[in-house]
Amino acid sequence: MSRAFVKENDLEHAGIDIPERIISKEINYVTPNGLKMLHEAVTKIESDRAYLLSDDSPTSKEKKMRIEREIRYYLARIDSAIVINPEHQPKDIVLFSANVAIENFNGDTLSFIIVGEDEADIKLSKISYVSPLAKALIGAKIDDEVIWHKPSGNEHLIITGITYPNI
């Protein structure tokens, strides 16, 4: 094919294949803090993009494409966000945004906060509402026994506390 029939843009990005980030098909429930985190991510990424605008090197072009992909992802997540305010949740049942204290039959106690997919961070004890553990907990009340279906086998848990922190 003659070069006359190739768009500049096609040559510019030849060999750079940046796949889109997969956007979950689940409803995008978020806490108020989760929505704030999404907005902060866009702000940070946009500042990274501004820094790269003056650089025309091949590596910066790939970085710019990755940044554009991230911005598209976060803007789509913000656009689809349904904010659930913990203050409006019933206090006696485990629902989205609950901080749930549990005890297993070995007497080990843990607590988890049920949050949106983008906000989940196990290091902070924040689990996604679509995780198997959250699915086992949602709808339970204090002293209820729930079964957490894990690949290693089922685990029986007792709900020992439910609070709704301002997250």
Q: What is the pLDDT of residue 15?
A: 52
Model confidence pLDDT, tens digit, residues 19-63: 999 999 999 999 999 999 999 999 999 988 877 777 777 777 888
Q: What is the pLDDT of residues 112-160, one digit of tens each?
A: 999 999 999 999 999 999 999 999 999 999 999 999 999 999 999 999 9
The answer to whether 83 and 30 have CB atoms below 8 angstroms apart is yes
Q: Are 105 and 156 in contact (CB under 8 A)?
A: yes
pLDDT at 1: 46
Nearest to 162 by CA among 96, 64, 73: 96
Cβ atoms of 167 and 32 closer than 8 Å:
yes
The ranges assigned to domains in the chain are 26-83, 86-163
Distance CA 26, CA 96 (A): 14
pLDDT of residue 6: 47
Q: How far apart are CA 94 and CA 140, in angstroms?
A: 5
- The β-bridge partners of 148 are 155
Say whether pTM exceeds 0.85: no
Domain 86-163 has CATH 3.10.50.30: yes
